[in-house]
Amino acid sequence: RSKREGKGTFHFFEPEMDAEMRERRELELELRATDFDRELELHYQPIISLRSGGLRGFEALVRWRNPRRGMVSPAEFIPLAEETGMIDAIGRWVLEEACRRAASWPPDLIIAVNASAVQFRQGRFAQTVSEAIAASGLDPSRLEIEITESVLLADTGANLALLERLKDIGVRVALDDFGTGYSSMSYLRRFPFSRLKIDRSFIRDIGSSRESMAIVRAIIGLGANLGIDTTAEGVETGAQLELLRQERCGEIQGFLFSPPVDSAGALRIIDSYRGDESKVA
């Protein structure tokens, strides 16, 4: 009897939940069966220095070209990969591919690679990073690992030790989506991050929201006082660019300059900057 009541209670939601779970399960199975070299690819979004007007490098953003579904967004399959333990293999593939690609670029360009919290906490992360560097021959100072504040919430000691290991390897570490997580002020004091990336949600509103502008200004000031570069992500308009320039933001990324492009597109961007260093910004 109680079973029937229980069933009745959820009756309305059941078909929908079923469909959603089945869909996730299917996506998981497809991801498991994926040959990364065939279906995963990296796209690259240029990072522009506002001080020099030049190209600093690119952020690597993973794409899954699923034969049946088309492009699956990382926002969709990275969380799934984290829950199912596949993030280690995907993260390794991303690191290796990104380092190999960057090693073929001019040596003044950096490559930024995102690492998820799950990947970061898993014990072999530093090992994976040094292996990718060794295999590609990339100078470690050209690799920047982007982590979010959420990574730093737990295991203070272990996290700091890992950050120190990465520093010993010679790679940079940036704080991504800065301002959206729990504040990591104490980490800023204890570890020399190379960059703070101001989250797109603040940049979007800087023209219209005094609060967003105040936050962006505060983050840039914080970075300046700590000697850490700031990058604004999601810059889409000339007006946003102008405000960021006035605030002396160091670097920008966004559709205003370029969306993420494939490796051939990255080469074209590199070429266009070789021709004229001060062209875009």
Binding track, positions 151-190, relative to ligand C2E; x by CB under 6 A: -------------------------xx-------------
Q: Which stretch binds ligand C2E (CB under 6 A): 133-141, 151-159, 221-229, 234-242?
A: 234-242
Query: Rg (Cα) of the chain, in Å, rounded?
Result: 21
Largest Cα–Cα distance of the chain, in whole Å? 77
Q: Taking a C-beta distance cutoff of 8 angstroms, is the pair 260, 61 a contact?
A: yes
Instruction: Note whether 254 binds ligand C2E by CB under 6 A.
Output: yes
What is the dihedral sign for C-alpha 251, 253, 258, 261? positive
What's the CA gap between 216 and 57, in Å, rounded? 23
Amino acid at 54: G
Q: Nearest approach, Cβ of 184 to ligand C2E (angstroms)?
A: 16
Instruction: Note whether 223 binds ligand C2E by CB under 6 A.
Output: no
Report the partner that residue 45 touches, choosing among ligand C2E, Mg ion, none (CB closer than 5 to 8 A by kind).
ligand C2E
Q: Taking a C-beta distance cutoff of 8 angstroms, is the pair 233, 249 a contact?
A: no
Binding track, positions 82-101, relative to ligand C2E; x by CB under 6 A: ------------x-------
Q: How are beta strands 143-148 and 172-178 bridged, if at all?
A: parallel
What are the two backbone dihedrals, phi and then psi, of residue 177, each rounded to the nearest 5 degrees? 50, 35
Q: Which stretch binds ligand C2E (CB under 6 A): 4-12, 134-142, 228-236, 262-270?
A: 228-236
Among 62, 102, 171, 175, binds ligand C2E (CB under 6 A): 62
Residues in the chain: 281
What's the CA gap between 156 and 62, in Å, rounded? 28
Among 33, 75, 185, 264, binds ligand C2E (CB under 6 A): 75
What's the CA gap between 76 and 187, in Å, rounded? 29
Instruction: Note whether 74 binds ligand C2E by CB under 6 A.
Output: yes
Instruction: Note whether 253 binds Mg ion by CB under 5 A.
Output: no
Instruction: Note whether 260 binds ligand C2E by CB under 6 A.
Output: yes
What's the CA gap between 281 and 277, in Å, rounded? 9
Q: Nearest approach, Cβ of 198 to ligand C2E (angstroms)?
A: 11
CB nearer to Mg ion: pick between 176 and 251: 176
Instruction: Note whether 176 binds Mg ion by CB under 5 A.
Output: yes
Amino acid at 273: Y
- Going by C-alpha positions, the residue among 242, 232, 174 that lies closest to residue 203 is 232
102-121 residues in contact with ligand C2E (CB under 6 A) are 114-116, 119
Report the partner that residue 27 touches, choosing among Mg ion, ligand C2E, none (CB closer than 5 to 8 A by kind).
none
Report the partner that residue 94 touches, choosing among ligand C2E, Mg ion, none (CB closer than 5 to 8 A by kind).
ligand C2E
Instruction: Note whether 149 binds Mg ion by CB under 5 A.
Output: no
- Going by C-alpha positions, the residue among 159, 162, 134, 136 that lies closest to residue 149 is 159
Q: Taking a C-beta distance cutoff of 8 angstroms, is the pair 172, 141 a contact?
A: yes
1-40 residues in contact with ligand C2E (CB under 6 A) are none
Amino acid at 141: S
Q: Which residue has the tokens 């959603």?
A: 20
What is the binding site for ligand C2E (CB under 6 A)? 45, 61-62, 73-75, 78, 94, 114-116, 119, 146, 176-177, 200, 233-236, 253-255, 260
